[in-house]
Amino acid sequence: MLPTTTGQPVANVAYLRAAFGQEIAHANLLRAVANLGTSAATDPYQMFYFPTGTFDTRDVFTATLETLENAFIGAYLVAIRELTTLAARSATRGVPAGAFGASAYSSAQLAYFAQVSGSILGIECEHRVFAREIGQRAPTANNWNFEQTSGLTSVYNGAQSAVMALTPFLTPSTGPGYSLAIALAGSTTLVLAGSPGGNNPPPQ
């Protein structure tokens, strides 16, 4: 269990345990959509890095969590815009090659990827709210009328891309590293499973 859960109300710990399971489900879906296989052992990143002290206190942990959720919300928002733009253009202008040299994605596939991004974005918004709730942020946990891109303008390209925003968490110089394999191995005793929910089946 995370050090920050010590002494926390039971409901707060349950929020974190449920979110852990949801993030694993998101990773599994994205792995399938991107045709990366079924094993997390082949993911391109196996270690994640956080500033020293991130998990020592509730305030620092929830502030970091809120920052990350903001970044992911922004990333999925710009992904939806980029994917739907590509879907609209694909019939007449073509689209980039698919993942790892696969053939170009169809308009229907690109629209499905946008739907996947939207379905995950909604859950990340819930995570942002409970991060604020656990951290007792004022004025309210749910303090926005509209979700934000948090300054992000693209998924991959440029200084204001989601990749650039999240790179520090993939860099050893940021702070202590945490193993994906160890986290997943411990998930069987920590995760509170949620309803699968789900998307429409992907286009064939």
Q: Are 43 and 180 in contact (CB under 8 A)?
A: yes
| In the block, residue with structure tokens 């994205």 | 30
**Helix/strand/coil for 64:** helix
Percentage of the chain lying above the pLDDT 70 cut:
86
Of 95-99, 143-147, 175-179, 184-188, the one with minimum mean pLDDT is 95-99
**Helix/strand/coil for 177:** strand
Q: What are 120-173's pLDDT values in tens digits?
A: 999 999 999 999 999 999 899 999 999 999 999 999 999 999 999 999 999 999
| pLDDT of 82 strictly over 60 | yes
Q: What is the pTM of this model?
A: 0.86
Torsion over CA: 22, 24, 27, 29 (sign): negative
Rounded to whole angstroms, the Cα distance separating 55 from 96 reads: 40
Residue 42 carries which DSSP code? G
pLDDT of residue 200: 65
Of 68-77, 131-140, 173-182, 190-199, the one with minimum mean pLDDT is 190-199
**Helix/strand/coil for 94:** coil
Domain boundaries, the chain: 10-190
| pLDDT of 102 strictly over 90 | no
Gyration radius of the chain over CA positions: 18
Residue 4 sits at φ, ψ, to 5 deg, of -70, -15
